[in-house]
Structure 1
Amino acid sequence: MIFSSIRHAVEDVFRPGALKVLGLGVGLSVGLLVLVTVLFTWVVGAITPDHFTLPFTHYQIGFVNDVASLATIGLMLVLSIFLMIPVASAFTGLFLEDVAALVEEAHYPDLPQIRKFTLAETIADSLRFLGVVIVANLVAFTVYFFILPFAPLLFFGLNGYLLGREYFQMAAARRLRKEQVQALYLKHRWTVWMTGALMAVVLTIPVVNLVVPVLGAATFTHLYHRLTGQVPRPRVLSSL
């Protein structure tokens, strides 16, 4: 069920009609990562002196600021592996409605109409989830140093839980009441967690991780419908 949902999601987000949504997702992800890198580089440049005098000598080493800035860019490229987790969480709600509509039109065309979330609701939910992800991972970072061999397991386990729960509940909330969403999540929480953990793993793969915000929305839309007993129809053509 999990891998079938992911396979269908990959087919959906890379079909011609969905490429504009995928392109928007990749563009926003790249833009946010670049913005964070530029800001971090600027801060490092502002606090780093232009030259450094060696102790007990009068010899000065120049270009310290430039070297620090270049090193910062390299560091941010490495940190982007971890930064994509909050990036994905920030954009989840923004893509979910469009992606879910594409998936449902192609595979579940006979579903009743839904109440669409307002922009204010979407932004509020995304900011709330982003805050939870940031706080949870900051707390986890303090633990990683004490359990180094098991740190990857904690990282993927924690973010798999966070991403899976949020993606699934947002997909389910489009068609179920709050109490129904919670009941369905509790019934299938291990399946949801494992799917979220796979998303967290992919988020650590540079370049590939840029498609995860959109891919995750499609995957959990499929997963929700499968868990409620619906089988996807063969893909139909869409004008979107």
Structure 2
Amino acid sequence: MLSAASRAFGQIFEPPFRAILWKSLGFTLAVLLVIWIALQGLVAGFVELPYPWLETTLSILTGIGAIIGLGFLVAPVSALFAAFFQDDIAEIVERRDYPADPPGRAMPLGQSLLLTIKFTGVVVLGNLVALILLLVPGINVAAFFLVNGYLLGREFFEFAAMRFMSPAEARALRRARGGTVFLGGLVIAGVLAVPILNLVTPIFATIFMVHLYKGLATARA
């Protein structure tokens, strides 16, 4: 697993993935910026204070709070990103690193969007729970890793597997190798937890899980 993670990290900045990386960064930053502006606008529009210095203080505190909160939205935004570029990333990895294997097949766009919307909702809910648990000393960091480790591991592994098998078979394989997939999800969550570096999470996670799936498929065969 560590070998697959190291391999994935080394490939993120290689030429075939560079254009996708810029698209990923632009998409993620644009979505987070829109959310941040909307939150600032809500506060400015609905909260009136008698003194200008109070308004300035509130604006600063709101901005800091919004930035912290947006850190928890990187995972849902990564899930949205998956619908648009995941197949392109997986296809490059399969073609370059596993040329002797049968190529995977892209998921139909409608099915991909439906699954992504469903998963994004689950990730949002899970990260809201983790955000609330930040107020509980001792379990806040653990909650972040457990929630994202499970959800992101499940999402990205099943995607890699569904390029070669049916959704039901992919879920069955994920359950059968649940410990390995969860540990892989924790690796992804570790990348997600590092500011700035977390912006490459979707590309890293996709490459990593393709390698992990290929390793498990070889062992299974």
Q: Give the corresponding residue for 1:134.
A: 124
Mapped partners of 1:143, 1:203: distance in 2: 18
CA distance in 2 between counterparts of 1:62 and 1:227 reads 61
**Distance in 2 between the 1:113 and 1:102 partners?**
10
Matched, 1:206 2:192: no
Q: Is the 8 A contact 1:93 1:170 kept in 2?
A: no
Secondary structure at the aligned position of 1:152 is classed as: helix
Q: TM-score, normalised by structure 1?
A: 0.84
Q: Distance in 2 between matches of 1:143 and 1:11?
A: 34
Give, in whole Å, the separation in 2 of the partners of 1:121 and 1:219. Answer: 23
- Structure 2 CA distance for partners of 1:67 and 1:142, relative to 1, 3 Å: closer
Larger Rg: 1
Q: For structure 2, which runs of at least 5 residues remain unmatched after alignment? A: none
Which position in structure 2 is the counterpart of 1:21? 20
Aligned-pair identity (%): 29
Maintained 8 Å contact 1:84/1:204: no
Structure 2 residue identity aligned to 1:99: I
Number of equivalenced pairs = 219
Tell me which residue corresponds to 1:234. Answer: none
Counterparts of 1:2-13 in structure 2 under 5 Å? 2-13=1-12
Give the deviation of 1:112 after TM superposition. 2.1
Asked if residue 187 in structure 1 is aligned to residue 176 in structure 2, the reply is yes
- 1:188-231 CA-to-partner distances (Å, cap 9, x unmatched) read 1111101111211221211110000111111101110011117x
More RCO (CA 8 Å, sep 6+): 1
CA–CA distance in structure 2, aligned partners of residues 62 and 137 of structure 1: 34
The answer to whether the Cα contact below 8 Å between 1:48 and 1:68 also exists between their aligned partners in 2 is no
SS in 1 for 2:218: coil
CA shift for structure 1 position 159: 1.3
Greater helix fraction, Structure 1 or Structure 2: 2
Q: 1:211 to 1:27 in 2, by over 3 A?
A: same
State the distance in 2 between where 1:192 and 1:114 align.
20
The CA deviation at 1:125 is 1.3
**CA distance in structure 1 between the partners assigned to 2:134 and 2:63 by the alignment:** 24
Aligned in 2, Cα 1:71/1:144: closer, same or farther, shift over 3 Å? closer
| Structure 1, unaligned runs of 5 or more | 53-60, 231-240
Kindly report the root-mean-square deviation, in angstroms, between the aligned alpha carbons of the 2 structures.
Answer: 1.9
1:177 and 2:176 are equivalent in the alignment: no
1:101 correspondence with 2:88: no
Structure 1 distance, partners of 2:52, 2:147, is 44
Q: 1:74 to 1:85 in 2, by over 3 A?
A: same
Matching residue of 1:115: 105
CA deviations over 1:5-47 (Å, ceiling 9, x no partner): 1111112221012100111111111111111101111001111
Using the TM superposition, name which of 61-70 and 29-38 deviates more.
61-70
Q: Does 1:43 align with 2:32?
A: no
SS at match of 2:106: coil
Match of 2:69 in 1: 79
Q: What corresponds to 2:115 in structure 1?
A: 125
User: Could you tell me how far apart the structure 2 residues matched to 1:115 and 1:205 are?
Assistant: 32
Q: Secondary structure at the match of 1:228?
A: helix
Q: SS of 2:139's equivalent?
A: helix
The residue type paired with residue 80 of structure 1 is L
Query: Helix, strand or coil: the match of 1:206?
Result: coil
TM-score, normalised on structure 2? 0.91
Aligned counterparts of 1:95 and 1:222: Cα–Cα separation in 2: 17
What are the superposed Cα offsets for residues 41-69 of structure 1, whole Å, 9 maximum, x if unpaired?
100111121x41xxxxxxxx225444433
Contact kept? 1:114, 1:175, Cα under 8 Å: yes
